């Protein structure tokens, strides 16, 4: 009955021919002041007032960005180029009357990456970049609007482009030519699901068990290439296929990488997921520094195919771009995804168990920065509100820890036969891309599929405000977790260091100097030239520090050679000597293997971290 009422409402207020659609024309050649001209020939409109909108919120983001802020010089014209009356209802929407006179809508899209609008900065992978003659990053929801209640009509986008430019995207319905391209989408939801990067192409493709994977790279200084990214991702994609029981869940997928040599306006880097692609904005560093980051972020975004792109609530299935209702289940959409992005790499041998454990320990420390008494489901459901949104990033920290706890608890209850991965795959079969679950029923459904203890866990630690029982959960797999532990350990003296413009490592602060460090007579701005006669540079620092912290013994003589400026501002080499002295300090979030592990704990530890 509700569907009939909605349908009748649509017919009454805006009648759009079933054969018509949106015809957009976009000029990527004649771009001035980083503004792209967009023209729309609208669908057939028969009568009454219509509402034309740009999105306030888009799927995969959890903040109200109000993309209408970046639209300028909005005009509505008749056949004779006369203006049609319109009223701006809010920052994103326009009320247009009489709608039957609309012949064309014209406006300009401005750049979200480089803008004077400093409020609610758009996370770059969800934004737009207009760099004429070099590259255009087009998230379609930042370029194109839609008529309210008419978002299910097809969209045809006509691009006039610079010669040699290519639209890297996962969309398959397109026609390309020398200077013009046409891309076609079934509806507005599909349009928003296929971002693209327009540039001179650097693309590679690999095939993984029948899935064609496109890798597209824009690197302004050519520090990274699609060939390198393809090599980096191949083993990860094989691991992902094992996660999905032998075959990737899509026939085609596109990884769209934009590497920037400038600081981002948001101060962040990362990616945004879509059903058949993901868009990345990462710093343009040498490949050796980005290798693991690329794997981690790519794994996370690809796994979003499972949650929330396959397993999701009605709030996501029937997403309202301008007045969205948010789901309770960010623990599922982001938490399980972040956990498995690292865990599957451990299971497949791409990282070691120690490396995986260190990732989870970092998440425990990071989660300490957020409100631990806030209900995770309440935060999720209200994430667009400022009070709750300040805890959003905890979905990647505590959210992943929630997933880890459920994984271990399922292994314990099933005696090693069932885990979180299998639960998610079973949920994907029970529901699916077009069959959402009811937000309030998911915990009950999962409890019926698994065990009462899982339901109790949700009640106490996800809906409830209790602190995660990490000591208890880790004990199931023979690990001893201590929130605080007094230890004696080797340190570098408690000096704080930074890197100067000459890429030299210097002492920036002595505020945390410990008993070992006090004997050397360090001074702020000392450049560390050598440690124990080994040249200390950005290239050698990691190896030297690892060796120092691992092998130096109590009482060993330690030398630091520093470069210090004298009163005449002349650099002088000075050798500082002292004896190694271990320092007592409280360490937080410590995890050790239990000495008296029983058979069940040993078995479950192997099931959790052992190779399948």
The string of pLDDT tens digits covering residues 292-318 is 999 999 999 999 999 999 999 999 999
Considering the domain architecture, whether residues 260 and 126 belong to the same structural domain is answered as no
Is 15's pLDDT higher than 90?
Answer: no
**Residue whose token pair is 């971002």:** 195
Domain-embedded: residue 597? no
Q: Within this chain, do residues 321 and 380 fall inside the same structural domain, yes or no?
A: yes
pLDDT digits (tens, 9 = 90+) for 94-120: 999 999 899 999 999 999 999 999 899
Q: For residue 3, name the pLDDT band (cuts at 50, 70, 90).
A: very low
- Among the listed residues 271, 277, 232, the one whose alpha carbon sits nearest the alpha carbon of residue 251: 277
Is position 598 within any domain? no
| Average of per-residue pLDDT across 154-175 | 97
Residue 35 has pLDDT above 80, yes or no: yes
CATH code of the domain covering residue 359: 1.10.390.10
- Residues 521, 576: contact at Cβ < 8 Å? yes
Tell me, rounded to whole angstroms, the distance of Cα 242 from its chain centroid. Answer: 22
Q: Is a pLDDT exceeding 90 seen at residue 227?
A: yes
Shared domain for 464 and 505, answered yes or no, is no
Tell which of 281, 300, 319 closes a domain.
Answer: 300
Q: Is 403 helix (H, G, I), strand (E, B) or coil?
A: helix
The number of folded domains in the chain is 4
In the three-class reduction of DSSP (H, G, I as helix; E, B as strand; rest coil), residue 56 is classed as coil
CATH (domain of 169): 2.60.40.3650
Decide: helix, strand or coil at residue 251. coil
> Is the torsion defined by CA of 498, 496, 285, 141 positive or negative?
negative
| Residue 540 confidence (pLDDT) above 90 | yes
Closest to 520 in 3D by CA, of 572, 575, 571, 573: 575
Q: What is the pLDDT of residues 478-518, one digit of tens each?
A: 999 999 988 888 999 999 999 998 999 999 999 999 999 99
pLDDT at 537 over 60: yes
| Nearest CA among 61, 383, 329 for reference residue 195 | 61
Residue ending a domain, choose from 274, 300, 326: 300
Among 535, 527, 534, 537, residue whose Cα is nearest residue 572: 527
In 3D space, the residue among 548, 573, 578, 549 whose CA is nearest the CA of residue 562 turns out to be 573
Count the Cβ atoms, other than its own, within 10 Å of residue 447. Answer: 17
Q: Are 491 and 597 in contact (CB under 8 A)?
A: no
User: Could you identify the residue written with the tokens 């004779």?
Assistant: 80
pLDDT of residue 587: 87
| CATH number of the domain encompassing residue 501 | 2.30.42.10
User: Per DSSP, what are the bridge partners of residue 94?
Assistant: 52, 88
pLDDT at 45: 87
Terminus-to-terminus CA distance in the chain, angstroms? 50
Residue at 449 is within a domain: yes
Residue 579's SS3 state is: strand
Please give the C-alpha separations between residue 572 and each of 282, 562, 565, 595, in angstroms, as whole numbers.
Answer: 39, 8, 6, 51
> Residue 312 falls within a domain, yes or no?
yes
**Is the residue at 486 inside a domain?**
no
pLDDT of residue 9 exceeding 60, the answer is no
Q: What's the rounded Cα separation, in Å, for the pair 189 and 150?
A: 11
Among 366, 377, 237, 256, which Cα is nearest to 303's? 237
Same domain, 232 and 364: no
Residue 17: pLDDT above 60? Answer: no
Residue 327: partners with Cβ closer than 8 Å, 6 or more residues away: 308, 312, 313, 315, 316, 333, 380, 381, 439
Per-residue pLDDT for 388 more than 90?
A: yes
What is d(CA 281, CA 284) in angstroms, rounded to the nearest whole number? 9
d(CA 255, CA 458): 34
Residues 98 and 235 in one domain: no
- Dig out the tokens for 40 from the structure: 């729309």
- Four-CA torsion 520, 521, 522, 526, nearest 10 degrees: -110
Residues 220 and 139 in one domain: no
- Amino acid 611: pLDDT: 82
Three-state DSSP at 377 gives: helix
Average pLDDT, rounded, for the chain: 94
Residues 475 and 498: their CA atoms lie apart, in Å, by: 39
Spell out where 16-131 has E strands. Answer: 22-32, 35-41, 50-53, 71-77, 86-88, 93-96, 104-110, 129-131
Q: Would the pLDDT of 421 be above 80?
A: yes
Domain that holds residue 221: 202-300
The reported pLDDT for the residue numbered 87 is: 95
122 falls within a domain: yes
Residue 593 lies in a domain: no
Lowest mean pLDDT among 181-185, 305-309, 317-321, 586-590: 586-590
Same domain, residue pair 510 and 433:
no
Say yes or no: 208 and 222 in one domain: yes
Identify whether 595 is part of a domain.
no
- CA dist 66 and 69 (Å) reads 6
pLDDT at res. 11: 34
Q: Does the pLDDT at position 166 exceed 70?
A: yes
Q: Per-residue pLDDT tens for 345-375?
A: 999 999 999 999 999 999 999 999 999 999 9
The secondary structure of the chain in percent helix, strand, coil, rounded to multiples of 5, reads 30, 30, 40
Sign (positive or negative) of CA dihedral 40, 142, 134, 32 = positive
Total residue length of the chain: 612
Distance CA 535, CA 531 (A): 7
Does residue 138 come out as left (phi exceeding 0), alpha (psi in the -120 to 50 range) or beta?
Answer: beta
Q: Are 340 and 392 within one domain?
A: yes
pLDDT in tens, 246-292: 999 999 999 999 999 999 999 999 999 999 999 999 999 988 889 99
Contact 296, 358 (CB under 8 A): no
Neighbouring C-beta atoms of residue 578, cutoff 10 Å: 17
- Taking the model in full, what pTM does it have? 0.88
For 582, phi and psi rounded to 5 degrees? -65, 145
The residue among 300, 321, 348 that closes a domain is: 300
| pLDDT score, position 19 | 42
Task: Report the alpha-carbon distance of residue 561 to residue 535 in Å, rounded.
Answer: 9
Same domain (yes/no): 193, 330: no
190 and 225 housed in the same domain: no
Same domain, 169 and 115: yes
């Amino acid at each position: 009955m509700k569907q009939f009422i909605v349908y009748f409402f649509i017919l009454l207020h805006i009648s759009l021919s079933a054969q018509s659609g949106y015809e957009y024309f976009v000029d990527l050649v004649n771009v001035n002041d980083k503004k792209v001209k967009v023209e729309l020939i609208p669908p057939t409109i028969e009568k009454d007032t219509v509402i034309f909108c740009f999105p306030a919120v888009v799927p995969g983001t959890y903040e109200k960005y109000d993309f209408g802020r970046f639209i300028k010089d909005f005009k509505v014209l008749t056949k004779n180029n006369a203006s049609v009356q319109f009223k701006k209802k809010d920052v994103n929407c326009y009320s247009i009357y009489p709608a039957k006179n609309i012949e064309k809508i014209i406006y300009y899209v401005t750049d979200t990456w480089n803008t004077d609008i400093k409020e609610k900065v758009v996370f770059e992978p969800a934004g737009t970049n207009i760099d004429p003659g070099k590259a255009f990053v087009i998230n379609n929801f930042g370029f194109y609007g839609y008529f309210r209640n008419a978002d299910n009509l097809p969209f045809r986008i006509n691009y006039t482009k610079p010669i040699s430019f290519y639209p890297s995207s996962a969309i398959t319905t397109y026609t390309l030519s020398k200077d013009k391209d046409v891309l076609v989408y079934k509806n507005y939801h599909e349009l928003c699901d296929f971002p693209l990067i327009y540039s001179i192409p650097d693309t590679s493709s690999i095939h993984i068990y029948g899935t064609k994977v496109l890798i597209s790279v824009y690197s302004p200084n050519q520090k990274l290439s699609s060939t390198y990214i393809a090599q980096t991702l191949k083993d990860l994609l094989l691991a992902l296929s094992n996660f999905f029981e032998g075959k990737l869940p899509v026939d085609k997928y596109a990884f769209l990488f934009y590497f920037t040599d400038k600081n981002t306006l948001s101060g962040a880097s990362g990616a945004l997921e879509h059903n058949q692609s993901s868009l990345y904005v990462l710093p343009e560093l040498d490949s050796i520094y980005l290798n693991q980051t690329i794997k981690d972020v790519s794994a996370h975004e690809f796994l979003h195919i499972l949650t929330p792109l396959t397993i999701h609530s009605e709030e996501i299935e029937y997403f309202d771009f301008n007045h969205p209702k948010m789901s309770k289940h960010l623990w599922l959409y982001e938490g399980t995804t972040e956990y498995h992005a690292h865990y599957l790499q451990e299971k497949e041998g791409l990282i070691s168990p120690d490396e995986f454990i260190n990732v989870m320990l970092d998440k425990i420390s990071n989660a300490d920065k957020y409100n631990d008494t806030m209900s995770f489901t309440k935060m999720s459901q209200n994430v667009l509100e400022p009070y709750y949104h300040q805890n959003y990033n905890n979905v990647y920290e505590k959210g992943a820890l929630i997933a880890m706890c459920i994984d271990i608890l399922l292994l314990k209850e099933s005696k090693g036969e069932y885990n979180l991965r299998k639960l998610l795959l079973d949920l994907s079969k029970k529901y699916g891309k077009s069959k959402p679950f009811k937000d309030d029923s998911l915990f009950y459904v999962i409890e019926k599929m698994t065990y009462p203890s899982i339901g109790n866990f949700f009640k106490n630690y996800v809906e409830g405000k209790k602190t995660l029982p990490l000591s208890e959960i880790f004990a199931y797999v023979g690990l001893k977790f201590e929130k605080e532990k007094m230890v004696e350990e080797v340190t570098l003296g408690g000096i704080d260091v930074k890197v100067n413009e000459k890429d030299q490592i210097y002492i920036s602060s002595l505020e945390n100097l410990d008993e070992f460090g006090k004997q050397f007579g360090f001074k702020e701005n000392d450049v560390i030239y050598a440690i124990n006669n080994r040249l200390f540079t950005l290239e050698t620092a990691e190896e030297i520090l690892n060796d120092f912290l691992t092998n130096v013994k109590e009482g060993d003589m330690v030398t630091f050679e520093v470069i210090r400026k004298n009163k005449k501002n002349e650099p002088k080499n000075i050798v500082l000597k002292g004896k190694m002295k271990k320092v007592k300090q409280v360490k937080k979030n410590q995890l050790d293997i239990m000495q008296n592990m029983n058979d069940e704990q040993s078995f479950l530890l192997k099931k959790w971290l052992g190779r399948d």
